[in-house]
Amino acid sequence: MALTQQRLAGHGDTFFALEQKAGKGQMGRRWISRPNENIIISIVLETTALAPDMVFYLSMAMALGTYDWFAEMAGEESSLKWPNDIYWRDRKAGGILIENNWAGPHWQFAIVGIGINVNQVDFEEGTKKPVSLRQITGKSFDLLVEVRKLCGKLEYRWNQLVAGKKKELLESYNQVLFSRGMPVRLRKDNVVFETTIRGVNENGELLTSDTLDRSFRVGEVEWV
């Protein structure tokens, strides 16, 4: 973020780290990655041409680009867990965190942080069901080669976004949504309840059904 504000980084610049000591995920959670084993990148995107109401569409586009790359190796059991985690079966392989910069009502740029477990096989005790591409496929991967492939997939989805293909992005996202059509347990305000995932709407809200049809904003509920 600082480099962008100082005009030392511009649209499309990608920063690849071999080690991250202060990683963070959604809701302030820690992201722990062993050195030289995983993909940890930050991408600068100029968003001045995008409408302010497309913030979640950017999130979907980046999640889909990451999913496209991941699923090519991990297979059809891959999915996107709302809002933007990469899953294989019921295990987390990675996640995306986007920081947006605004000047009043104007959306200036976004920093897209992506962390994916690639070659790591030993995880910190207490970590919730992590998984890596190496564990899934039995293969080791060249990180630089895979970063280039990943960036190609992200560029494709970015171009979809810029072209205004919002309907296509939303449909693609819902097609690979984790636990869609299945009952799950969520927590809101310390109350745990069971509900069935129906999908995600154009506002980025999670849609569910039980005794009522419900919708939840990002951060309003957490998975149990």
What are the pLDDT digits (tens) for 38-47? 999 999 999 9
Cα–Cα distance list, 121 to 145, 161, 213 (Å): 20, 35, 40
pLDDT band (50, 70, 90) for residue 12: confident
Structure tokens at 35: 């050195």
Residue type, 119: N
The domain total for the chain is 2
DSSP, res 26: G
Structure tokens at 14: 């990608």
In the predicted structure, residue 22 carries a pLDDT above the cut 70:
no
Phi, psi values for residue 71, rounded to 5°? -65, -25
pTM here?
A: 0.90
Domain extent for 26: 2-175
**Shared-domain flag, residues 113 and 203:** no
The confidence score (pLDDT) of residue 167 equals 97
In the predicted structure, residue 28 carries a pLDDT above the cut 70:
no
**Shared-domain flag, residues 40 and 20:** yes
Mean of all residue pLDDT scores within the chain: 91
Query: Residue-wise over 83-102: b if at least 16 C-beta within 10 A, else e?
Result: bbbbbbeebbbbbbbbebee
**Shared-domain flag, residues 194 and 171:** no
47-61 residue pLDDT tens: 999 999 999 999 999
In the predicted structure, residue 8 carries a pLDDT above the cut 70:
no
Go through the chain and tell me how many residues it has: 224
The predicted model gives 148-162 an average pLDDT of 97
**Shared-domain flag, residues 197 and 101:** no
